[in-house]
Amino acid sequence: MTTTYVIDGARVHSLQDFWTALGEAVNGPGGYFGRGLDSLTDCLRGGFGTPDDGSYVFEWRGHAASRRALGHPETARYLEGILARCHHTNRGRVAEELAQARAGRGPTLFDILTGIFADQAPDLLRLL
Model confidence band, residue 1 (pLDDT cutoffs 50, 70, 90)? confident
How many CB atoms sit inside 10 A of residue 9's CB? 24
Q: Strand, helix or coil at 32? A: coil
Percent of the chain at pLDDT > 90 equals 85
pLDDT in tens, 57-84: 999 999 999 999 999 999 999 999 999 9
What pTM value is reported for the model?
0.93
To the nearest 10°, report the CA torsion of 29, 108, 111, 21: 10
Contacts of 14 (CB under 8 A, 6+ apart): 69, 70, 74
Specify the DSSP element, H or E, that contains 95.
Answer: helix 91-102
Q: Strand, helix or coil at 64? A: helix
The mean predicted confidence, pLDDT, of the chain is 95
State the pLDDT at residue 50. 87
Bridge partners of 30, per DSSP, are: none
State the pLDDT at residue 66. 97
**DSSP assignment letter at 105:** -
**CATH code assigned to 1-69+108-128:** 3.30.370.10
State the pLDDT at residue 49. 85
Predicted confidence (pLDDT) at residue 87 exceeds the cutoff of 90: yes
State the pLDDT at residue 30. 93
Predicted confidence (pLDDT) at residue 13 exceeds the cutoff of 80: yes
Cα separation of 124 and 41, whole Å?
12
* Residue with more model confidence, 52 or 33: 33
Cα separation of 40 and 117, whole Å?
9
What percent of the residues of the chain are helix, what percent strand, and what percent coil, each to the nearest 5? 55, 10, 30
Provide the residue ranges of all domains of the chain, joining segments of one domain with +: 1-69+108-128, 72-106
pLDDT in tens, 32-50: 998 999 999 988 887 788 8
